[in-house]
């Protein structure tokens, strides 16, 4: 999991995708592995885990970890600044509101230039990061995003966008460069979306062998202990709530186990993570500790 240069993290909304991406980036950030956590969020809101405002310019979180967001307009302006002689002219044109509206009206404009930014971060001649963790959009939008290079290649016959789409496709399909990690919960709907995204990515030629199953419940008692607790609850009314809670925990664990077995049938390598009781920065630290212990 940690060998890839680009780690794309996606999953159904509400499964803990952003927390996992933050924990993975924190785990990867080492003295010899400078890491960038980059979000697809386009609104410039405060990052829900680190509590700092997302900006296109990387923000230093720790000595070896930066945080930023992708922005198609700033990415194209950066492209002209790096690759054209009269960049000041193009900068003014791109900043024009009418030109911005034109770009916004182009199909998949944001997705294509955001992927171009990832390409520059991962393979550019002036790249500075050893790992890039991309907190990608949720499942449905992620499928659109990942399909953009293929659509561009099939639609265009030549030109700079066509050439860039081929480079992006090569980056995404190179298993030594990119890997998609799918975050899910051990519940029916998230598991179905995880399977669907996995199959879609396989069709695109992306490496998707890893799924993070978040918020798993463990049954802490065997059958004999459960039977004893149930009898105790029947005999002592004051112990009945405890017996009911233990029985509920067991039922949840068994239901989750069925969904996990279902997901295993997709050929994904699974890492199960427990429900975390911590909050704030302690929750991130607990997630990082879980990854060190459980993830390959």
pLDDT for 284 beyond 70: yes
Q: What share of the chain is helix, strand, coil (3-state, %, to 5)?
A: 55, 15, 30
Q: Crossing angle of helices 188-204/240-264, nearest 10°?
A: 20
Cα 166 to Cα 160: distance, rounded to the nearest angstrom: 10
Q: First-to-last CA distance in the chain? A: 6
Cα 218 to Cα 255: distance, rounded to the nearest angstrom: 11
Mean pLDDT of 71-92: 64
CB 211 within 8 A of CB 184: yes
pTM for this structure? 0.85
pLDDT for 49 beyond 70: yes
Q: Which residue ranges make up each domain of the chain?
A: 6-216+270-294
What is the rounded radius of gyration, in angstroms, for the C-alpha atoms of the chain?
A: 22
CB 90 within 8 A of CB 101: no
pLDDT for 217 beyond 90: no
Number of neighbours of residue 125 by Cβ within 10 angstroms:
6
pLDDT for 101-153, tens place per residue? 545 545 566 788 889 899 999 998 878 999 999 999 999 999 999 999 998 88
CB 133 within 8 A of CB 28: yes
Report the chain's mean pLDDT, rounded to a whole number. Answer: 85
CATH class of 6-216+270-294: alpha beta
Res 43: pLDDT: 61
């Amino acid at each position: 999991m940690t060998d890839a240069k680009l780690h794309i993290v996606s999953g159904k909304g509400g499964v803990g995708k952003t927390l996992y991406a933050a924990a993975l980036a924190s785990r990867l950030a080492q003295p010899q592995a400078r890491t960038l956590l980059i979000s697809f969020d386009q609104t410039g809101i405060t990052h829900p885990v680190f509590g700092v405002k997302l900006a296109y310019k990387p923000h230093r979180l720790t000595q070896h970890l930066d945080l930023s967001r992708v922005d198609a307009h700033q990415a194209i302006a950066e492209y002209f600044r790096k690759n054209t002689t009269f960049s000041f002219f193009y900068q003014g044109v791109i900043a024009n509101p009418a030109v911005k509206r034109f770009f916004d009206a182009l199909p998949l404009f944001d997705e294509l230039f955001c992927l171009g930014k990832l390409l520059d971060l991962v393979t550019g001649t002036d790249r500075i990061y050893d790992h890039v963790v991309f907190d990608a959009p949720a499942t449905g939008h992620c499928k659109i995003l990942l399909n953009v290079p293929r659509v561009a290649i099939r639609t265009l016959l030549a030109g700079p966008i066509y050439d860039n789409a081929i480079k992006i496709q090569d980056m995404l399909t190179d298993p030594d460069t990119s890997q998609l990690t799918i975050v899910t919960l051990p519940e029916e709907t998230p598991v179905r979306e995880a399977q669907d995204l996995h199959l879609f990515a396989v069709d695109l030629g992306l490496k998707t062998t890893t799924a993070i199953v978040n918020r798993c419940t463990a049954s802490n008692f065997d059958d004999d202990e459960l039977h004893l607790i149930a009898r105790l609850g029947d005999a002592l009314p004051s112990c009945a709530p405890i017996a009911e809670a233990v029985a509920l925990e067991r039922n949840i664990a068994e239901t989750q186990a069925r969904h996990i077995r279902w997901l295993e049938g997709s050929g994904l390598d699974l890492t199960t993570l427990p429900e975390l009781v911590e909050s704030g920065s302690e929750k991130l630290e607990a997630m990082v500790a879980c990854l060190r212990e459980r993830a390959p």
